[in-house]
Every structure is written in C-alpha cells, then in structure tokens.
Amino acid sequence: MLLKIYTLVHVVISLVGIAAGVPFVIALLSSQRFERWTTVFLVTTIATSVTGFGFPVDHFMPSHGVGIISLLVLAVAVYARYSRHLEGLWRPAYVVSAVTALYLNVFVGVVQAFQRVPGLRALAPTQSEAPFAVTQGVTLALFVIIGIAAVVKFHPAAVSTPMRN
C-alpha cells in the first residue's frame, strides 16, 4: 500500500515537472524569465530524480543512471541561475542543463508509457522495436532543436537575487 502511494506521488511530481517544463521552455524561447514556472520546474524535476531513488531494488538500474545524470545537470542549472546569475557562459550552461533535465524526464516518461500503456507495450514489448526507437529518436531530435533555439534566443538581463538577512 505504501509503495503504491509513493509511486503515485513520484508519478505526480514527474508529470508536474514535465508540465512546468512547457512554460519554462516557452520562457527560454521568448527570452523571458517566468520565475514561478522556473521554480516549479526545477523543484519538481529535482524531486522527481530524488524520489526515483526511493524505490526498493536490489541492484543498480538504468533509471538510477538517468537520475544521477539528471541531478548533475540540475545542479549546473541551479548554480548557473542562482549563484552565477546567468552571467557569461553560465547563460548557455543554464539553458543546456535545464533543457537536458527536461529531456531526461520526458525520456523516462516515454519509457514508462511503453512499459505500462497496453497499446504501446503491444507495439514494443521489449523496447527494442522500431516504434520505441522512433519515438525516442523523435523526442531527442525535438529537444536538441529546442535546446539550440533556446541557447540562441534566451538573452535576458543578468538575474539578480536579492540578499536576505
């Protein structure tokens, strides 16, 4: 029962992170900072990766590798945004790392969809079939295009974080 609740919470957090990624990417592509969406995106995407390690397993799995990579790129995004204020090369580092984190979340979502949705599982029961590969290839291509466009277009003024006592 607890595992089902934990799984539901993890899935909801993941879906919120992906959904928040849409306005986040729109902000990047329009050279704006949607502060609330950015915060929701970063917090839920970090929470997704962290909660992914809470499932009972007896060995290291590919999802753990994705979670580690996601947390590393999210650390770069958070540092670039909040410590380096998007100055200089930290702006493209932020964009690339944040878009990569969103891609990884969507990548895992596609994997989960092909494992759990009966129609998709019928198309690619071992996830080595063409429908799965094409879906993941198109997803990757879309995120590469989004990432390149965002690096080119996202040029806001340097972000300043007010100091609080």
Nearest to 97 by CA among 69, 68, 76, 83: 76
Give the Cβ contact number of residue 42 at 10 Å. 21
- CA distance to 90, 115, 138, 156, per residue, from 118 (Å): 43, 8, 21, 44
Considering only residues 10 and 159, tell me which one the structure prediction assigns the higher pLDDT: 10
Tokens of 132: 């799965």
Residues 135-158 have pLDDT tens digits of: 999 999 999 999 999 999 999 864
Domain boundaries, the chain: 2-54+63-153
Residues 98-144 have pLDDT tens digits of: 999 999 999 999 999 999 999 999 999 999 999 999 999 999 999 99
